[in-house]
Amino acid sequence: MALEYFLSAKENNAWDLNPNYVTDVRETVKDFDKKLIEMHLIMKAAEMHGRRAYNLAVYTLFGGMFFASSPFSPIAAVIISVVGVESQVYQAWPFRGPADDSGRAADQL
Question: Is residue 106 domain-resident?
Answer: no
Question: Is residue 101 domain-resident?
Answer: no
- Could you tell me the residue range of the domain that residue 75 belongs to? 2-95
Question: Is residue 107 domain-resident?
Answer: no
Question: Is residue 33 domain-resident?
Answer: yes
Instruction: Cite the DSSP H helix spans in 1-109.
Output: 2-11, 19-28, 32-69, 74-92
Instruction: Please name the helix (run of DSSP H) or strand (run of DSSP E) that holds residue 93, with its range, or none.
Output: none
Question: Is residue 104 domain-resident?
Answer: no
Contact assessment for residue 61 and residue 9, using Cβ atoms and an 8 Å cutoff: no
> Which amino acid is located at 11 in the chain?
E
> Which amino acid is located at 103 in the chain?
G
Question: Is residue 81 domain-resident?
Answer: yes
User: Among 60, 79, 77, 81, which Cα is nearest to 69's?
Assistant: 77
Question: Is residue 40 domain-resident?
Answer: yes
Count of domains observed in the chain: 1
Supply the pLDDT for residue 81: 92
Question: Is residue 48 domain-resident?
Answer: yes
Supply the pLDDT for residue 104: 52
The residues of the chain scoring below 50 in pLDDT are: 97-98, 105-109
